[in-house]
Structure formats: structure tokens, C-alpha cells
Amino acid sequence: MTGALVSIGLVACTVGQPATPPPEVFTALYVVNNGPYPLYANFGDWAAARPPRLPLSEADKQTIEAGRIARAQHHVGTDAGPWLLKGCIFDVLTTSADQRDTSYVWAYGRVARCDEPVEDGVLEPQMGVRPEKLRIYDGRLGYFPMSLLDVYTGSAPPPRQ
């Protein structure tokens, strides 16, 4: 009888305890070494965006420069897709060669940690400053050039609050 009460008490205690969420499983973490550069949702989406007859490395430089200019001039709309910036952490799941140049490799994965400061143009009325806002890309899946990634040697990023 005592054994039955003890086992019922143990079951009641374990059922009522909240389960701690399992840690995120990361495959292969990389850090973005240059940017901003778009994260493409589908394989081959970049083909329409890049200039023809231009080496892929030169097309990447032009894309990064255009992204930097747009951000400096505050011409990045809220509808702009995710652009990974230098320092963002990307979890590479698979890689595949580009259709035009097989030596150029695309990484498919998910954004482990990346955010971008955003200015929405609205001034705070009392102080005349723009409020701090972030566009957070964590969890987004897509394709990114492997040439813009370096192996990440730090610890896995903690979950956002």
C-alpha cells in the first residue's frame, strides 16, 4: 500500500512539472563574412537577379554594394526580403553547385541569428529621434553563397526572448 502511494506521488510530481524545451540542433554553423546579401527562398532565384555575362564574384560585389547604398540612404522597405549582414550566423544544411558555374557553391540552410536595424522614418514626437527597431531573420530558410560564409567557432546562439 505504501509503495502504491509513493509511486502515485512520483507520477503526480513528474506530470505537473513543465518540460524544458530541447536545445536547438545545429548542423554546421557559419558566420557571414560580407554583406548585405539576400537570402533566396528557392533554388535558382538568384539567376533572375544577377546580370548576365558577369563573373559570379563580380555580381556578388555589385549586389553587396547596392544593398549597402540602399541601407545608407534608408531605401530598404519593410517588404524587402531577408538580407544577411556581416556577422549573421547561418546553419548550413546542404550545399549545391550553381547552374551557370559549378565551381560556385550555394548553401541551403536556416538563419540561426541575424537581425537588422530598421529606420521607419517616423520621428518620436517629444525627442525628435527615431525609435530602435529590428528586423529579425532568425529561423528563415533559404540559399546563400558559400563564398560569403566562414566557419563559426563560437558557441551556438541562445534562443531569443
pLDDT in tens, 56-92: 889 999 999 999 998 888 777 666 789 999 999 999 9
Those residues whose C-beta lies under 8 Å from the C-beta of residue 20, and which sit 6 or more positions away, are none
CA–CA distance, 24 with 116 (Å, rounded to integer)? 22
Q: How far apart (Å, rounded) are the C-alpha atoms in residues 142 and 85? A: 14
CA distance 59 to 36: 13
Reported pTM: 0.75
Mind giving me the DSSP string for 3-23?
HHHHHHHHHHHHHHSPPPPPP
Which H or E run includes 106? strand 105-113
| pLDDT one-digit tens code per residue, 3-57 | 544 444 444 444 555 554 445 566 799 999 999 999 999 998 888 888 878 888 8
DSSP 121: S
